[in-house]
Amino acid sequence: MGLSTAAEVNDYMKTRSYVEGYAFSAKDVEVFGKIGLPDQKQHPHAYRWYVHTAALSGSKCLALVAGGAGSKPTPAPAKAAAPKKAAPAKPAPAAAAEEEDDDDFWGDDEEQTEEEKAQAAKELEEAKAKAMAKLAKKEANQRSLCNLEIKPWEADQDLKALYAKIKKTVVKDGLKWSEGLKLVDVAFGVQKIICTAVVNQTLSMDAIIEEITEDLFADEVQSMSMTSMSLL
């Protein structure tokens, strides 16, 4: 599986939520490390997956995602080198005392440098917190429209009643099923349901499909697939 560019990931993620299977895995982290933040307009599917993976994989890349495409984390300020004072070749007792005072002066400067380090660390943590809050807001507002096909086991099944049961049973925060549906002939009198669902980035449509076909409606639904996905 060669996913090394935003374009390749975008094409691959049109009908998927993760690189492999129905859950986040090391493969997502591997591909994540190969590409930068995709352009949201040019590669919307890759962008959706990238933001979701960033939230699941930890805070290392949160500042980059929050900053936008091409952003790089700002390095901590470099420690300024303290100027060195040349010592006299043969210091007199008074000069030695003065040199000792100089040592105390530079010691104070070292303490100030430690304070600067602490301040830089504090600012970095504040930047991380802001990035996480911004990313969480993006996650909450980002939604995808999924086009779905549902095929029953039997030709004489009441598909409208089946779809109504699915909508009533599979209820989740961030999931909204379409009100209407379309019935399309398949073969030998069997029809399939064409419908849509809107999900936010906290949900995986692949996991929902698996739950319907392998658990809740295994005796009534032969197969269910997502034919396409687009960002709203």
What superfamily would CATH give domain 143-231? Answer: Ribosomal protein S6/Translation elongation factor EF1B (3.30.70.60)
What gap in Å lies between CA 75 and CA 205, rounded to an integer? 38
93 pLDDT higher than 60: no
Residues 6+ apart with CB under 8 A from 186: 151, 192
Lowest mean pLDDT among 4-18, 105-119, 138-152: 105-119
Half-sphere exposure of 116 (CA within 13 A, CB side): 11
Q: Do 66 and 136 contact (CB within 8 A), yes or no?
A: no
Half-sphere exposure of 229 (CA within 13 A, CB side): 28
Rg (CA), the chain: 29
pTM of the predicted structure, to 2 decimals: 0.47
What gap in Å lies between CA 149 and CA 228, rounded to an integer? 10
31 pLDDT higher than 70: yes
Where exactly are the structural domains of the chain? 6-73, 75-141, 143-231
The dihedrals phi and psi of 61, each to the nearest 5 degrees, come to -110, 10
- pLDDT tens-place string over residues 167-205: 999 999 999 999 999 999 988 888 999 999 999 888 899
146 pLDDT higher than 70: yes
What does the pLDDT average to over 146-155? Answer: 93
Q: What pLDDT sits at residue 84?
A: 54
Residue 77 binned pLDDT confidence (cut-offs 50, 70, 90): very low
- pLDDT tens-place string over residues 54-70: 888 764 555 555 555 44
Beta bridge partners of 96: none
**∠ Cα 175 179 184 (to 5°):** 110
Q: How far apart are the first and last CA of the chain?
A: 28
Q: What pLDDT sits at residue 4?
A: 87
Q: Do 217 and 228 contact (CB within 8 A), yes or no?
A: no
